[in-house]
Amino acid sequence: MLIWFVVLYLMVSIGIGLYAATRVHNVKDFAVAGRHLPLPVVTATVFATWFGAEAVFGVSATFVKDGLSGVVADPFGSSMCLIIAGFFFAKKLYKLNILTLGDYFRMRYNRTVEVLTTICIVASYLGWVAAQIKALGLVFSVVTDGGISETAGMILGAAIVLTYTTFGGMLSVAILDFVQMGVIMGGMLFIAWFISGSTGGVMPVIEHASAAGKFEIFPEPDPWKWLTFIGAWVTMMLGSIPQQDVFQRITSARTAKIAIWGSVLGGSIYFCFTFVPMFIAYSATIIDPATFNEMIQTDHQRVLPTLVLSHTPIFAQAIFFGAVLAAIMSCSSATLLAPSVAFSENIIRIYFPGMGDHAFLRVMRITIVCFTCIVLGFALWSNASIFKMVENAYKITLAGAFVPLFFGAFWKRATTQGALCAIFGGLLSWILVELLIGEASLVPPKLMGLFVSMFGIVAGSLLPQWIGHSTPHPDLHAELHHLAAAETHHVTDKPHHH
């Protein structure tokens, strides 16, 4: 019965996604859902940005093992990312009327910066999407009691998500996110209520976790431990801002005001709701401490699904796994779409500037298929946990893309030379410290990359100006808006040329 329920849910999801595909007529519909989504849909799709495999399995399992200090990156950093993106970047980027973040980097700097940052953004999705695929394999394996192996489950899950994402694009993603948000929240709250009946209520679980030190979030008063703590927090909070899926979800809104508040509300709801799977997973250590304490040490990602399968009736299992599938699919579909759109728009289009809209839409769909195959191969090969895959994904954008985005938006004197110094300096310092020193480094490699990137953009922008080789543009921000008006071909049905 559980298997048939899962099959039925997947068929309905694919049906909704394919129905949305009938309303996709051009690149604008495919990439940013035509830019006419209302506030509830934008809020739902922003919430779904993060509420996927890592929130259900990764964050909850890490909390059971390490407490709040282990999940400072997610949900604390990731939810702040969405709130910061809403308040500080949504309006600026929405008004430019562009398809990708790469378009912004080209308009603000030049084509070289566009290509380099796009490569960073696309590369960061490898681990993120692989984590979603890995979680789908885990769900199928657990639901079928090993009848479908995790490997086969990954292949099946990737094929299902690929189907409706390839045809429907962002419109399918947004509609499914809105439907699945209800399934996720209702299903998770019901399971939490049901499980609390076996623990004597909510408070005994909270008191048990508090007594075990699970609510201690800050490290000891040691400056180097604080740097590690800040590094984990900043990686997700800032490294996730220059991400194409965050950008697409925000700019799919009908107005700039909806873009701002949809991002802020989605991030706030995500932060609050992530504690529900944490509560459910921690309840396992009270209900059956012998079994689950051992599982925490061996395979902590299975704590939550094993608890539901062994301590709830079949209808509760159906609700739980329906909610889990909703969460993972809504997250993985957008994260397959985002890097594919960015790569097509900011890399492939360079070589085919005269390509028409319908031909370019076909290229985007082919790119999604290729990227899915690469991600699936990485998911099958990697032995990293779901949480680690997600946490590691954003180191490259923190070191190579965040500083050019932030300084480009808020510092008028930032130049192309400065952006290039920031990209190369940030990436090289991060990679060198990671390879040569690794975890032994007193300053985390990702923070070293961020610091060098910030120094690079300031020095690279100001030094040429001081020695008279270049002068800052009198009003770069006004120029951006002028360029935005000239680049509306990106979101029309007409062919265009660079």
pLDDT at 103: 92
Predicted structure pTM score = 0.80
Nearest to 291 by CA among 303, 276, 274: 303
**Rounded Cα gap, residues 180 and 261, in angstroms:** 20
CB 451 within 8 A of CB 400: no
pLDDT at 474: 43
pLDDT at position 33 is 65
Distance CA 255, CA 481 (A): 17
**How high is the pLDDT of residue 228?**
83
The string of DSSP letters for 315-347 reads HHHHHHHHHHHHHHHHHHHHHHHHHHHHHIIII
Q: pLDDT tens per residue, the chain (498 residues)?
A: 677 877 787 788 778 777 777 777 777 777 666 678 889 988 888 887 777 767 777 788 888 888 898 888 888 988 999 999 999 998 888 888 888 899 999 999 999 999 999 999 998 888 878 888 888 888 888 778 778 888 898 998 888 888 878 877 777 777 777 877 787 788 888 889 988 888 888 999 999 999 988 898 888 888 888 888 888 888 888 988 898 888 888 888 889 999 999 999 999 999 999 999 899 888 988 888 888 877 877 777 778 888 888 888 888 888 778 777 777 777 777 788 888 888 988 899 888 888 888 888 888 889 999 999 998 998 888 777 666 676 677 889 999 999 999 999 999 999 999 999 999 999 999 999 988 887 777 788 888 999 999 999 999 999 887 776 544 444 445 555 555 555 444 444 444 443
Contacts of residue 110, defined as CB under 8 A and 6 or more positions apart, other chains included, come to 416
Q: What is the 3-state secondary structure (H, E, C) of 266-288?
A: HHHHHHHHCHHHHHHHHHHHHHC
